[in-house]
Amino acid sequence: MNTFGTRLKFTSFGESHGVAVGCVIDGMPAGVKFDEEFLQNELDKRKGGNQFSTPRKESDKAQVLSGVFERYTTGHPIAIVVFNENARSKDYDNFKDVFRPAHADFTYFHKYGLRDYRGGGRSSARESVARVAGGAVCAMLLNEFDICVQSGVFGVGRLKSNLNEDQFDFKWAQESEIFCLDSSLENDFKAEILNAKKSKDSVGAAVFTRVTGMMKGFGEVLYDKLDSKLAHALMGINAVKAVEIGEGINASKMYGSQNNDILKDNKFLSNHSGGILGGISNGEDLVLKTYFKPTPSIFREQESMDKFGNNVKLELKGRHDPCVGIRGSVVVNAMVRLVLADCLLLNASSNLNNLKKIYSLK
């Protein structure tokens, strides 16, 4: 339920206005160099702290409770906790019985019979602190194999980059306050976000991800296919409503003779597949697109209901991103890392030769 992964199990906990959020990463092999500074940097990336993200200020300082000894992983569960500091629960007192539109309030209430209404409780995007921490730890493992996951934003609302995917600029995105992949649209994207914010509204966004350094063989047939796992991971991020792999929807409009990637001279001549054939990585770059709906929390007056069945009008308080997809791109990145680390471990026992290499040499 709150655990993700098969061989590398990532479990998260914590509520938006509770004591802390955190995670336990179980199954990480022993002997991986643990880089606490990198972990903190990744959390800082997610933190935002500019006009394009939430005004909530958290130091988001990660504390590693276990699983690391003398700077190496021990093979035991790595628990990471981030204490909440800047929760302003009073913002929510007026809404404790009200279902905020497009939020989980309504469904949590009906499923559980009660709910922590402060900041959305468990359903808050604050939980993504845990995901990003988990992704960072996985990156430490992936680095050992030169697998690199990069993500950025290529669309905000109706604006969309016209660049060819190969031209997306991940270096630029790293420096951009909005992780923008197309420098020529940076200002337009920003204007669109600020415009929504100014009109007490929010706006959607589109995120592109590329993984380089992929090895062949990641993904298990049939219900742990790499694409299946990625879709699971990405669609489970708050506010995500669509996932495309490789050509995505466009593939459904093509003929086989156009879409088939030809293999010649030991190279694929194209990558319509996005790096996955039959659910297993073919060594080409992974190519993924993830689409975020606009942040549900907007500051206009909206109609809704309360838990007693009364119609109400509400004007939200609280502190929210005007475009949840911006920081969402950091979460996308983390989830892809979690998937790939899991695949790397699972694949280790795919055939007898692999096993013989391990045990005979041991």
Annotated binding residues for FMN, as ranges? 122-124, 238-239, 278, 293-297, 319
Binders of its own copies among residues 148 to 187 (CB under 8 A) are 155, 157-158
Binders of its own copies among residues 219 to 258 (CB under 8 A) are 219-225, 227-236, 238, 240-249, 251-258
The two structure tokens encoding residue 247 = 């050509």
Which range binds its own copies by CB under 8 A, 4-12, 43-51, 170-178, 181-189?
Answer: 4-12
Residue 113 gets which letter from DSSP?
A: S
Residue linked to tokens 């800047």: 86
* Of 202, 200, 283, nearest in space to 239 by CA: 202
- Residue placing its CB nearer to its own copies in the complex, 59 or 171: 59
The two structure tokens encoding residue 343 = 């695949």
Binders of its own copies among residues 39 to 78 (CB under 8 A) are 63-67, 69, 72, 74-78
Q: What does the alpha-carbon distance between residue 11 and residue 131 come to, in Å, rounded to a whole number?
A: 9
Shortest distance in whole angstroms from residue 349 CB to its own copies:
4
With binding defined as CB under 8 A, does residue 295 bind its own copies? yes
- Residue placing its CB nearer to its own copies in the complex, 48 or 328: 328
Binding residues: 46, 122-124, 238-239, 278, 293-297, 319
Radius of gyration over every alpha carbon of the chain, rounded to an integer in angstroms: 21
- Residue placing its CB nearer to its own copies in the complex, 160 or 171: 160
Which range binds its own copies by CB under 8 A, 43-51, 52-60, 96-104, 183-191?
Answer: 96-104
With binding defined as CB under 8 A, does residue 94 bind its own copies? no
Q: What are the b/e assignments for 298-329, b being 16+ CB within 10 Å? A: bbeebebbebeeeeeebebebebbbbbbbbbb
Give the three-state DSSP class for 180.
strand
Residue 120 gets which letter from DSSP?
A: G
With binding defined as CB under 8 A, does residue 282 bind its own copies? yes
- Residue placing its CB nearer to its own copies in the complex, 43 or 316: 316
Binders of its own copies among residues 21 to 40 (CB under 8 A) are 21-22, 24, 26-27, 29-32
For CA atoms 304, 86, 10, 345, the dihedral sign is positive
Binders of its own copies among residues 325 to 344 (CB under 8 A) are 325, 344
With binding defined as CB under 8 A, does residue 191 bind its own copies? no
With binding defined as CB under 8 A, does residue 137 bind its own copies? no
Number of residues that bind its own copies (CB under 8 A): 162
> From the list 201, 212, 307, 317, which residue makes contact with its own copies (rule: CB under 8 A)?
201
Cβ atoms 149, 209 nearer than 8 A: yes
Q: Which residue type is seen at 307?
A: K
- Residue placing its CB nearer to its own copies in the complex, 163 or 171: 163
With binding defined as CB under 8 A, does residue 125 bind its own copies? no
Shortest distance in whole angstroms from residue 150 CB to its own copies:
20
Shortest distance in whole angstroms from residue 4 CB to its own copies:
4
Q: Which residues contact 237 (CB under 8 A, 6 or more apart)?
A: 128, 131, 290, 292, 328, 331, 332, 335
Q: What does the alpha-carbon distance between residue 44 and residue 110 come to, in Å, rounded to a whole number?
A: 35
- Find the helix or strand (DSSP H, E) in which 81 lies: strand 78-83
Cβ atoms 126, 21 nearer than 8 A: yes
With binding defined as CB under 8 A, does residue 297 bind its own copies? yes
Phi and psi at residue 39, in whole multiples of 5°? -55, -45
